[in-house]
Amino acid sequence: MKIKYHKKFEKQFKKLSEKTKEKTIEVIKLFISDPNNKKLLNHALKGALEGKRAISINIDLRIIFEEFDNYTFIIFLDLGTHDRVYK
């Protein structure tokens, strides 16, 4: 799996607390080893974000991404609270 980080994702990641950055990295590692792990709550999005997917870092924090070729290439597009990323 090859992962590219969009500038918007990188900008939001820098704003996180150190503890949340560590949790986010743990979630990304889990995603790399098993993108369909139930803990990630990986799901397709609808509406304006149709064609994209989301995984959960915690109860409110999400990573929005695009997946290509059965998870061989991933672009992490955005990172933020549920209300912010789903606007």
Domain boundary assignment for the chain: 2-85
**Class of CATH domain 2-85:** alpha beta
Edge-to-edge strands, sheet with 73-81: 2-5, 73-81, 61-68, 53-56, 43-44
Q: What is the pLDDT of residue 86?
A: 79
Q: What is the pLDDT of residue 39?
A: 95
Q: What is the pLDDT of residue 84?
A: 85
* Residues forming a β-bridge with 56: 62
Q: What is the pLDDT of residue 15?
A: 96
Q: Rounded to two decimals, what is the model's pTM?
A: 0.93
Low-confidence ranges of the chain (pLDDT < 70): none
Amino acid at 11: K
Q: Which residues contact 1 (CB under 8 A, 6 or more apart)?
A: 32, 35, 71, 72, 73, 74
Distance CA 53, CA 39 (A): 15
Q: What is the pLDDT of residue 82?
A: 86
